[in-house]
Amino acid sequence: MKALKIILLPLLPIYFVIVKLRNYLFDKDILKCQKVGAQIISVGNLTVGGSGKTPMVIYLSNLVKNEGGHVGVLSRGYGRKSRGYILVSHDGRILTTVENCGDEMFHTVKETNIPAAVSENRVNGAIRLIKETGVDTIVLDDAFQHRWIYRDINILIFEQRFLLDTGFFNQSLLPEGLMRESFDSIKRADLIIINRKFSEISNLPDKLNKFLRKAKVFTAYYETIGFVDIKKQIFYNIHDFEGQKSLVVSGIANPFSFINALKQTKVDTLNQIIFRDHKNYTLKEVQRIRKEFYDTNSHSVVTTEKDAVKLYKFSKELDDIDIFFLKIRIKLDEEQEFKKYLFNKLTIEKERNSSRNKKN
């Protein structure tokens, strides 16, 4: 992999110039963002995959919903087999399949039960979602780089493990590293969330302090809730799996934290099948899971919730295998302060927009 990145090194300055030019045009209002008639909370990152955007979108959506907001979610639906705008859920009903909306969106609507849609064009998608469902607040998933739409709150999320690794092949722009934009783009964010996942809070490298010094920074972590039987939807306590020999199946961007969580719950994780991110499971993969399960004499199969929404349709093929997903949720270390900041920001922006409209 590093050899390939060395070959692609000449592309790095080209990508850098393109990103810088695009951001300059937006910063100077030459390229313009558009308001859509609802409050927008954008969740995004500077890296490719694995920071915890989906759990954060679920957390924010439920937070606004529980405060009485009529909230919806909009995503481009990464990894889906469809194109264009699709209304995913409305009035408590899921209206499409995981293949048509993507695993992350399908997971999100199951956890939030709110209106949702997928669309590559976020502006048009937001306008249609508002018109069809009447939402007054939209949580945008993976939208930090999608600057065409105006946002009231711009949230940037980092995985702590990424920030601690200052290596060139990590903290460089694509295609050499994992970064979509350089750290100076942090200035566009209203607040930063550092997701430590299942680790303790760590001091960040000094070189990052100059970028984070003026930002409102919160830390978050993952909490394991329990295991859920994919086929029967029966919940089991974490302790029920202690010492259990399981076949670990994962198709997410960064399986390190998932496997680490299983180890912390004392699940035997020796046997693993690691697929690429957003894996579209077919009978071929299911047969491989079956073979590995019996070859390793495993007691069960344990996977992620994102993988579970795609494996559920193979319940018949897996009827003789106990298969579970690890249920987790994201939590803020300073949750009350975060809630206060979030809702004050939304209220402030409402008042500002009202004042502007009166002046106009």
pLDDT in tens, 299-315: 999 999 999 999 999 99
Mean pLDDT of 89-106: 96
Q: Which CATH number fits domain 2-221+331-355: 3.40.50.970, 3.40.1010.10, 3.40.50.300, 3.10.129.10?
A: 3.40.50.300
Q: Where are the beta strands (DSSP E) in the chain?
A: 39-44, 71-75, 86-90, 93-94, 116-118, 137-141, 153-159, 191-195, 216-229, 235-236, 245-250, 268-274, 300-304, 323-332
In this prediction, residue 101 carries a pLDDT of 97
1 pLDDT band, cuts 50/70/90, is low
Question: What's the pLDDT tens digit per position in 121-171?
Answer: 999 999 999 999 999 999 999 999 999 999 999 999 999 999 999 999 999
Q: How far apart are CA 64 and CA 45, in angstroms?
A: 21
In this prediction, residue 353 carries a pLDDT of 52
CA 165, chain centre distance (Å): 21
Q: Which CATH number fits domain 222-330: 3.40.50, 1.10.287, 3.30.200, 1.10.3470?
A: 3.40.50
In this prediction, residue 171 carries a pLDDT of 95
Look at residue 313 and give its three-state secondary structure.
helix
Average pLDDT, the chain: 93
In this prediction, residue 231 carries a pLDDT of 96
Look at residue 184 and give its three-state secondary structure.
helix
Q: Answer yes or no: is pLDDT of 41 > 80.
A: yes
Q: Answer yes or no: is pLDDT of 4 > 90.
A: no
Q: Answer yes or no: is pLDDT of 357 > 90.
A: no
In this prediction, residue 351 carries a pLDDT of 47
In this prediction, residue 215 carries a pLDDT of 85
Phi, psi of 35 (to 5 degrees): -80, 150
Torsion of CA 270, 275, 277, 282, to 10 degrees: -130
Contact 303, 248 (CB under 8 A): yes
Q: For residue 245, give the nearest of 290, 297, 289 by alpha carbon.
A: 297
Phi, psi of 332 (to 5 degrees): -95, 140
Contact 149, 140 (CB under 8 A): yes
360 pLDDT band, cuts 50/70/90, is very low
Inter-axis angle of helices 103-112 and 53-66, nearest 10: 30
Question: Given this chain, do its domains 2-221+331-355 and 222-330 carry the same CATH topology?
Answer: yes
Q: How far apart are CA 340 and CA 342, in angstroms?
A: 6
Q: Answer yes or no: is pLDDT of 358 > 70.
A: no
Does the pTM exceed 0.85? yes
List all residues 6 or more positions away from 294 whose beta carbon is below 8 Å from its beta carbon: none
214 pLDDT band, cuts 50/70/90, is confident
Residue boundaries of the structural domains of the chain: 2-221+331-355, 222-330
